[in-house]
C-alpha cells in the first residue's frame, strides 16, 4: 500500500444528530482556539487539518492515518466534558473516511446535512473555517474546501433547496409572535453584535418590533449595529436592568459561558410582575442559564428549539433533495479523480527514473535484468499480474536467471 493510501482524508466530530446541545456547546471552538487545537492534532502526525465549529457541529477534517491523530481529536474533545462517558467523546461522534469524508463535507456545505434543510449560513461558516485553518490545512484540504464552496453554490443556484426564509432567525420571529400576537410596537434588547444577532434583529424589526438597545462586550461593534437599527449601544453590564422593561431579549454573544444568569437578572425579572418576557438564545455555548425560567411568564427558546420550528417550514425543500444529491455525487467523483491522481504522479516519476537508469546502463529492451527491474517496480505498486509477467519473461529468455526465479517464487508465495 502506498503512503497516499495510508494517509487518507478523514472527518470526525459531532453534530446535532449525535449530541445534544449541552454536549455540543462544550465542544464548540471559538476562532481563537482553532490554531491551538489543530497544532495538537498536527503534532500527532496529521498532514493537514481544518476545524469547522458551528452551533450544530464541531468537525475536524484531517489528512492523516487512523493513529494517533484520530485519537488525539477524541482526547481533545473529551477534555471538555465534565465527566467523560464510558466511550469518551467518541460516544457522541462519528468518523467518515476518504470518499465518504469528501461527500460529507459537500453535503454540509450544500445545507443537506443541516438541521434546517438548505439553510445558507453554513456555506459562510465553511468558508470561515477554511480561512481560520489556512496555515494548517495543507494542499489536499485547501482543494477540498475550495471545491466544497463551489458545490454549495451549485446546489443553491441549480436547485431550489434554499427557497423560502426558514432559519433560526425567522423562527425567532415566529415564536415571539405566538407569545405576543401582534409584534408591532414591541421592544427588543439585543445581547451580542455578531452576524446572527444582527440577522435576527433585522427579522424582528421587519415585523414592527422596535430594537431599543444593543449590548456587547465591545461597545464599538454594538454602536455600529445600533446605528443601523436606530437603537442605543450599551456594555453588557449596563444591559441587566433593562430586563425589567423589554418584551424580547435576543441573545447571541460569543461568550464561553452563560452571561444571562439568575444572579444578574433574577431580581430584575421579578419586578415585571408576570408580564411576558420572550428570551431567544441563539448562542452556542448558550448565553442564558435555564434557571431564569423559574419566573412566571418567562419563555426561553434555545437554538435547538428555534431550529426545530424552522425545520417545520422546509417541507417544500425536500423535493429538491435528489437533485442536490446528484450534484454532490458528481462533484465527489471529480474530486476523487483528482485525489487519486496524486498517487499516480509519484509512480510515473519513479517509472521514468527507472527507464532512464536502464537506458543509461545500455540494457536492451528484452534483457532479463531489465525485465526483473520492471517486475519489482510493478510489484511495489501492487500491480502483481504485470510483475509476474515480467519475471516469467525474464526466465523465458534466461531459465538460469536466479533473481528472476526467486522473485517469481516470492511473488507467488505472497499471493497465495
> Which residues have a catalytic role annotated?
55
Distances (CA, A) of 113 to 52, 106, 250, 371: 14, 9, 26, 52
Burial pattern 377-388, b for ≥16 Cβ within 10 A else e, equals: bbbebeeeeebb
Which helix (H) or strand (E) segment holds residue 341: the answer is helix 321-360
C-beta atoms surrounding 314 within 10 Å = 22
Q: Are 164 and 312 in contact (CB under 8 A)?
A: no
Q: Are 215 and 241 in contact (CB under 8 A)?
A: no
Q: Kindly state the cell numbers that stand for 189.
A: 434588547
Count the residues in the chain: 416
C-beta atoms surrounding 154 within 10 Å = 18
Q: Kindly state the cell numbers that stand for 389.
A: 509477467
Please give the full DSSP string across 81-137, using - where no structure is assigned.
Answer: SSS--TTGGGGG-EEEETHHHHHHHHHHHHTTTSSSTT-SHHHHHHHHHHHHTHHHH
What is the spatial distance between Cα 84 and Cα 61, in angstroms, rounded to a whole number? 23
What is the spatial distance between Cα 346 and Cα 389, in angstroms, rounded to a whole number? 23
C-beta atoms surrounding 124 within 10 Å = 13
Which helix (H) or strand (E) segment holds residue 59: the answer is strand 57-64
Coil vs helix vs strand at 377: helix
Burial pattern 263-283, b for ≥16 Cβ within 10 A else e, equals: ebbeebbeebeeeebbbbbbb
Q: Are 170 and 121 in contact (CB under 8 A)?
A: no
Which helix (H) or strand (E) segment holds residue 211: the answer is strand 210-216
Amino acid at each position: 500500500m502506498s503512503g497516499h493510501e495510508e494517509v487518507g482524508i478523514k472527518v470526525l466530530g459531532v453534530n446535532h444528530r449525535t449530541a445534544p446541545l449541552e454536549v455540543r456547546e462544550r465542544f464548540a471552538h471559538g476562532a481563537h482556539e482553532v490554531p491551538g487545537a489543530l497544532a495538537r492534532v498536527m503534532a500527532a502526525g496529521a498532514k493537514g487539518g481544518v476545524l469547522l465549529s458551528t452551533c450544530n457541529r464541531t468537525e475536524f477534517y484531517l489528512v492523516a492515518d487512523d493513529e494517533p491523530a484520530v485519537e488525539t481529536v477524541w482526547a481533545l474533545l473529551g477534555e471538555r466534558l465534565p465527566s467523560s462517558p464510558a466511550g469518551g467523546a467518541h460516544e457522541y461522534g462519528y468518523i467518515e473516511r476518504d470518499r465518504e469524508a469528501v461527500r460529507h463535507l459537500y453535503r454540509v456545505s450544500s445545507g443537506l446535512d443541516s438541521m434546517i434543510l438548505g439553510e445558507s449560513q453554513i456555506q459562510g461558516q465553511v468558508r470561515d473555517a477554511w480561512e481560520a485553518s489556512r496555515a494548517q490545512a495543507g494542499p489536499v484540504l485547501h482543494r477540498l474546501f475550495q471545491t466544497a464552496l463551489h458545490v454549495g453554490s451549485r446546489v443553491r443556484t441549480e436547485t431550489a433547496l434554499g427557497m423560502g426564509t426558514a432559519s433560526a432567525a425567522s423562527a425567532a420571529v415566529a415564536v415571539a409572535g405566538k407569545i405576543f400576537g401582534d409584534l408591532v410596537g414591541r421592544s427588543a434588547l439585543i445581547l451580542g453584535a455578531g452576524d446572527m444577532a444582527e440577522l435576527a434583529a433585522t427579522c424582528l424589526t421587519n415585523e414592527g418590533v422596535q430594537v431599543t438597545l444593543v449590548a456587547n462586550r465591545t461597545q464599538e461593534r454594538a454602536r455600529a449595529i445600533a446605528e443601523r437599527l436606530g437603537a442605543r449601544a450599551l456594555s453588557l453590564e449596563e444591559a441587566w436592568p433593562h430586563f425589567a422593561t423589554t418584551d424580547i431579549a435576543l441573545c447571541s454573544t460569543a461568550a464561553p459561558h452563560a452571561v444571562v444568569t439568575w444572579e444578574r437578572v433574577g431580581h430584575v425579572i421579578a419586578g415585571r410582575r408576570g408580564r411576558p418576557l420572550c428570551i431567544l438564545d441563539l448562542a452556542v455555548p448558550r448565553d442564558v442559564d435555564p434557571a431564569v425560567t423559574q419566573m412566571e411568564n418567562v419563555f426561553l427558546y434555545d437554538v435547538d428549539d428555534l431550529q426545530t420550528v424552522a425545520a417545520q417550514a422546509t417541507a417544500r425543500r425536500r423535493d429538491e433533495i435528489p437533485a442536490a444529491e446528484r450534484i454532490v455525487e458528481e462533484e465527489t467523483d471529480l474530486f476523487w479523480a483528482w485525489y487519486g491522481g496524486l498517487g499516480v504522479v509519484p509512480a510515473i516519476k519513479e517509472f521514468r527514473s527507472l527507464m532512464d537508469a536502464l537506458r543509461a546502463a545500455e540494457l536492451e529492451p528484452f534483457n532479463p535484468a531489465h525485465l526483473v527491474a520492471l517486475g519489482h517496480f510493478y510489484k511495489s505498486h501492487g500491480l502483481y499480474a504485470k510483475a509476474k509477467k515480467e519475471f516469467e519473461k525474464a526466465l523465458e529468455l534466461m531459465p538460469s536467471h536466479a533473481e528472476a526465479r526467486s522473485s517469481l517464487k516470492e511473488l507467488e508465495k505472497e499471493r497465495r
